[in-house]
Amino acid sequence: MSIDINGENFTTFDDYLNDEKKVSASEKAQLEFETALIGKLIEAREEKGLSQRDLAEISGVKQPAIARLESMRSTPQIDTLFKILSPLGYTLSIVPSEK
């Protein structure tokens, strides 16, 4: 199956993502980071058996904001990430890249 994006045909989203004429290396890295971060947040919430509403109550972040974050419709501020990650038992850190 293929998909048409802006008049060009791509077989998969990865084809589009890996086309450096369409997505720069820094944009790709950012997308991969955001996807991994949000994926881990959802995984941690589900492992604790929490709904978005439960997480909203214990974090002080409104449930619609958590929903937007989890669906990647918004990019969270660092303080919001800390509010959400802390009750899940996580924090953020900066580590050297593997390159």
In a domain, residue 98? The reply is no
Q: 31-83: per-residue pLDDT in tens?
A: 888 999 999 999 999 999 999 999 999 999 999 999 999 999 998 899 999 99
Give the number of domains in the chain: 1
Residue 51's domain is classified under what CATH number?
1.10.260.40
Q: Return the higher-pLDDT residue of 32 and 16.
A: 32
In a domain, residue 93? The reply is no
In a domain, residue 99? The reply is no
Q: How far is CA 33 from CA 8, 27, 51, in A?
A: 26, 10, 23
* CB contact at 8 A, 90 and 44: yes
In a domain, residue 72? The reply is yes
* CB contact at 8 A, 67 and 61: no
Q: Which residue range(s) make up the domain with 23?
A: 3-88
- Coil, strand or helix at 70: helix
In a domain, residue 95? The reply is no
In a domain, residue 42? The reply is yes
In a domain, residue 94? The reply is no
